[in-house]
Structure 1
Amino acid sequence: MLKLPPISLYIHIPWCIKKCGYCDFYSYVSKKKIPEEKYISNLLKDLEKDLKLIYTRKINNIFIGGGTPSLLHHKSIENLITGIKKRTKLSKFTEITIESNPKLIEYKRFKNYKKSGINRFSLGIQTFNSNLLKKIERTYNKNEAIKAIKEVKKINNNFNIDLMYGLPNQSLKNALSDLKYAVKYNPTHISWYQFTLEPNTSFYKKKLNLPCENIIFQILHQGEKFLKKSGYIKYEISSYMKLQYKCRHNLNYWNFGDYIGIGCGAHGKITKINGDIIRTIKNKNINQFINGKYLNSKKLILEKDKPFEYFMNTFRLYQPIYKKHFQERTNISINQIKNNVKKALEKKYIIENKDSWETTKKGKIFLNSLLEIFLN
C-alpha cells in the first residue's frame, strides 16, 4: 500500500488595505465592509469538500495567508479555527501560523488570536527603512514596524519576520541594517529573500533602479555571515531559524508533502491512494466563492513531470535528499531518473551518497540550471 505523505492546510484570506506594486499573490482591495462571516462559512464548506480526498490523515500544520489575514476580527479567526477542529483531526503539535501586516497589529486582537489557537505569527516587515517602505508601497513606517514586533513579542515567543533585500536603490549598508534590527528583537525565524519583479505586477512595467548583481552578491554573502554569527541556521534558500523553529508548513511544501488549499485563489496538492498526485486551484472570484462555487481547476501531475516537481521543492533545502523519500513521494523508481542524476553529477550540481543526494554550493547558485536537467 502506498505511504501517503503528511498533509497541511493553507487558508487564503484575499483582502488587503492596498495592493503593493510588487505583489503577485491574489489579493482584493475592498472598498466595502468585508463579508467575514459569509467568507468563513464558505471556507469551512470548501474544506469539507477537500477532506473527502485525504482519507484519515491528520492535519499537521495550518497557515493562514493572504492578502492580509490580520484584517479579520478575532471572532472570525476563532470561528474558523473552531470550525476546522470540528471537521477534521489535528495532530497534537499542530503549528498554526497567521500572516500579519504591521499597520494592523492591535494587542487585544492578537491576544485573542492566540486564545483561538494561533501559536505562530509571521510579520511582513520587508524593510525597516521608511523611505524604501514608501517606495515599495507598504502602508506603514519604520516606527510602526518596530512597534508591531514589540506587541507580538508580548503575546507569543514564536514569530517570524519577513524581510527582502535587493530593493530599489538599496545599499549594502541598508540591507545589513535591516538584519541588525530584526536580530535585535530575537525572532525565532527570519525569512530573507530577494526582491523580484514578477510579470503580472504593476512594478514590472516600471523602470526601478535595482542593485546590480555584484551588490546583491555582497548583501547575500555578508548577510548570511551576520545571521550565522547571530545564531540563525540557514535550512532553506531564504529561511533562517533559531534552535528548531523551522516553519513547519513551508517545510512540508519543500519536502513535497500534501496540502489542502481553501479560499479564493488557494492552491492545493493531494496524493491519492493509487499514487496519482493532483493540484487544485480555487475560484478567484470572491462573489462566486461566497456563493458556493469553490473549485476553479483540478489537474493531474503527469508521471514525466513528477521528478521536476519534487526536486523544484527539495533542492531548496540544506539537507540530504533521500532516495527512499523520492520514491515514496513520487511513486517513481530512481532508475527512471538515472540519466538526469548522471548529468547533474557531471555538472557538479549534486553529490551522490549510497542512500541520498545533496546539492553542492554550485548547485544552489545555479539552481535553475540544475532543475532544468529534470524538466521534461
Structure 2
Amino acid sequence: MARVIPIAPAGRAARSALEFRSQPPLALYIHIPWCVQKCPYCDFNSHEARREIPEEAYVAALVADLESALPLVWGRRVVSIFIGGGTPSLISGEGIDALLTAVRSRVQLLPDAEVTLEANPGTAEAGRFAAYRAAGVNRLSLGIQSFDDRHLKALGRIHGGDEAKRAIDLAARHFERFNLDLMYGLPGQTLAEAIADVDTALAFAPKHLSCYQLTLEPNTRFAAEPPVLPEADACADMQEAIEARLATAGYLHYETSAFAQPGFQCQHNLNYWLFGDYLGIGAGAHGKLTLHDRVLRQMRWKQPAQYLQQVAAGQPVHEEFAVAADDLPFEFMMNALRLCDGFDPALFEARTTLPLFAIENELRRAEADGLLVRSMERIAPTVRGQHFLNELLRRFLAA
C-alpha cells in the first residue's frame, strides 16, 4: 500500500509540527469524462458518449497534460493514482496500459503505490477487468449503488442487480482490493431494503465499502425533477443501521462514508482527508499542490472537446489560484474532520503554517457542544459530530 501520514495512536506523545514539515504526500488523479448515460443524481463532470470515444487522442492529451505539470511536482514521489470519472472502464485495457506506462516513465511512482480505477458493472466494462489488472491497476471501485432492480431503475442506472453480482464475481477474481459503492435513502426505499443491499454486498467480502446517502445536488436532473425520497429520520435510521451492520461484520468506519477491513483503507482518499497534495489531469480535474510559498489550486477545462483543444495549445489549466491564508484553516478542517479518528494536532500547523491556537475558540465551542473531542494526540469528531458534519464544519468557516 502507498504510504500516508499516520494518525497518532492513542497513548503516544503528540508529534511536533516539524515532523510533518516536509512536503505533503503527492497523489495523481486522472479524470475520464465520458459515460454511457448521465445519471440523474450525478453532479460530476461527466458527459454522455453519443459517439465513439476518442480514446487514443484523449490518452495522448492526458500524457501531454502531465508533462506540462511536471515542473510543479519535479522530484516528488507519487504515492497513489486514482482514475475516476465519468466511467473510466469505457477506456480499453490497452488504453489504460498505455496511460499508466506513460505515467511511470514521467513521475516517480512508489513501487507499492495504490492504483485505483472506477468501473461500472456493465457487461462490456467488466470484460476488461483482467486487462486492467495486467496494466497495473491494483484496486477496482465498482459503482453498484443498489442490487434492487426497482431502485436501480429509479437511479437511472443501466445495469441490473444480477449484472452487478456477476461483475463483482469477476472483479474478485482479478483484484484482492476492490470497493463497492452503495447508496441509501433512495426513492421508495425502506430500512429493510437498505440493509438487504449491504448484506448482499457483504456476501462478496469486499475489502472496502462506500455507503452514501442520496442527495439532490444542484444542476442535476433530480434537482429539476425531484423524486420522493424517504424522510430525514428514516434516512438517519438507515445510516445508523448500516454503520452497526458493518461494524458487526468487522469493518472499520474510518471516514464519513467509507468502511474498510483492517489495513484496506483507501490510501488515495486518506491523502485527501489529511490535506495531502494531488495533481489532477484530464477534463475538469481539480488539483491542490503545496509550493514553497503558497498552496495552489487548479482546474482543467471541463468540456472534453475544449480540453483536447487547450491541451494541444499547451494550456490545459482553465483556472488557477493560490488559497488565501485565511481560508486554509477551514479547508484543512473540511477534509480532516471527515476522518472518524480525526488527525494529529501537529498536522494542522504543518499543512496550514498557522498555529492551532488560531482556531482555539472554534475548537472549544465545538467541544462544548459535543461535536468534537480533543487531546494532545488527536482531534476528532464525536459520533454526533460525524452525523452532523456540516454543522461542525460551519464553526470553522466562521474562523
TM-score, normalising length: structure 1: 0.97
% identity of equivalent residues: 40
Tell me which residue corresponds to 1:175: 194
Pairing 1:300-339 to 2, within 5 Å after superposition: 300-339=322-361
Answer yes or no: is 1:245 the counterpart of 2:264. yes
1:364 to 381, 386, 394: 386
Report which stretch shifted further, 97-106 or 3-12: 97-106
1:69 to 74, 80, 88: 88
Query: What amino acid does structure 2 have at the position aligned with 1:269?
Result: K
Report which stretch shifted further, 105-114 or 228-237: 105-114
1:243: how far off? 2.0
- Write the distance in 2 (CA, Å) between the matches of 1:195 and 1:142: 18
Query: What amino acid does structure 2 have at the position aligned with 1:332?
Result: L
Q: Secondary structure at the match of 2:201?
A: helix
Paired residues of 1:70 and 1:104 also in contact (CA < 8 A): no
Query: What amino acid does structure 1 have at the position aligned with 2:322?
Result: L
1:334: how far off? 1.4
1:50: how far off? 1.8
Q: Secondary structure at the match of 1:321?
A: coil
Answer yes or no: is 1:223 the counterpart of 2:245. no
Tell me which residue corresponds to 1:281: 299
1:19 to 6, 24, 38: 38
Paired residues of 2:283 and 2:303 also in contact (CA < 8 A): yes
Tell me which residue corresponds to 1:236: 255
1:106: how far off? 5.2
Seen in structure 2, the aligned counterparts of structure 1 residues 106 and 287 have a Cα distance that, compared at 3 Å, is closer
1:3: how far off? 1.8
Paired residues of 1:105 and 1:151 also in contact (CA < 8 A): no
1:232: how far off? 1.0
- Write the distance in 1 (CA, Å) between the matches of 2:301 and 2:164: 33
- Write the distance in 2 (CA, Å) between the matches of 1:287 and 1:318: 40
- Write the distance in 2 (CA, Å) between the matches of 1:231 and 1:104: 31
Tell me which residue corresponds to 2:149: 130
- Write the distance in 2 (CA, Å) between the matches of 1:356 and 1:189: 24
Query: What amino acid does structure 2 have at the position aligned with 1:300?
Result: A
1:354: how far off? 2.2
Query: What amino acid does structure 2 have at the position aligned with 1:75?
Result: E
Pairing 1:254-273 to 2, within 5 Å after superposition: 254-273=273-292
Paired residues of 2:81 and 2:114 also in contact (CA < 8 A): yes
1:206: how far off? 1.4
Query: What amino acid does structure 2 have at the position aligned with 1:215?
Result: A
Query: What amino acid does structure 1 have at the position aligned with 2:333?
Result: F
Query: What amino acid does structure 1 have at the position aligned with 2:140?
Result: F
Report which stretch shifted further, 277-286 or 59-68: 277-286
1:342: how far off? 2.2
- Write the distance in 1 (CA, Å) between the matches of 2:92 and 2:343: 42
Seen in structure 2, the aligned counterparts of structure 1 residues 281 and 104 have a Cα distance that, compared at 3 Å, is farther
Paired residues of 2:336 and 2:342 also in contact (CA < 8 A): no
Tell me which residue corresponds to 1:117: 136
Count matched residues: 375
1:31: how far off? 1.7
- Write the distance in 1 (CA, Å) between the matches of 2:262 and 2:33: 33
1:32: how far off? 1.8
- Write the distance in 1 (CA, Å) between the matches of 2:192 and 2:377: 43
Pairing 1:203-222 to 2, within 5 Å after superposition: 203-222=222-241
Query: What amino acid does structure 2 have at the position aligned with 1:282?
Result: R
1:346 to 368, 374, 382: 368
- CA deviation profile, 1:95-150 (whole Å, cap 9, x unmatched): 00000010145565211111110000000000000011011100011110111001
- Write the distance in 2 (CA, Å) between the matches of 1:100 and 1:286: 19
Q: Which has the higher contact order (CA 8 A, sep 6+)?
A: 2
1:207: how far off? 3.3
Q: Secondary structure at the match of 1:363?
A: helix
- Write the distance in 2 (CA, Å) between the matches of 1:91 and 1:49: 21
Paired residues of 1:105 and 1:148 also in contact (CA < 8 A): no
User: What is the Cα-based RMSD across aligned positions, in Å?
Assistant: 1.4
1:35: how far off? 0.7
Query: What amino acid does structure 2 have at the position aligned with 1:71?
Result: L
1:348: how far off? 2.5
- Write the distance in 2 (CA, Å) between the matches of 1:278 and 1:229: 42
Query: What amino acid does structure 1 have at the position aligned with 2:185?
Result: G
Instruction: Could you tell me which runs of 5 or more consecutive residues in structure 1 were left unpaired when the two chains were aligned.
Output: none
- Write the distance in 2 (CA, Å) between the matches of 1:235 and 1:355: 17
- Write the distance in 1 (CA, Å) between the matches of 2:156 and 2:127: 27
Tell me which residue corresponds to 2:7: none
Instruction: Could you tell me which runs of 5 or more consecutive residues in structure 2 were left unpaired when the two chains were aligned.
Output: 1-17
Report which stretch shifted further, 175-184 or 311-320: 311-320
Query: What amino acid does structure 1 have at the position aligned with 2:178?
Result: F
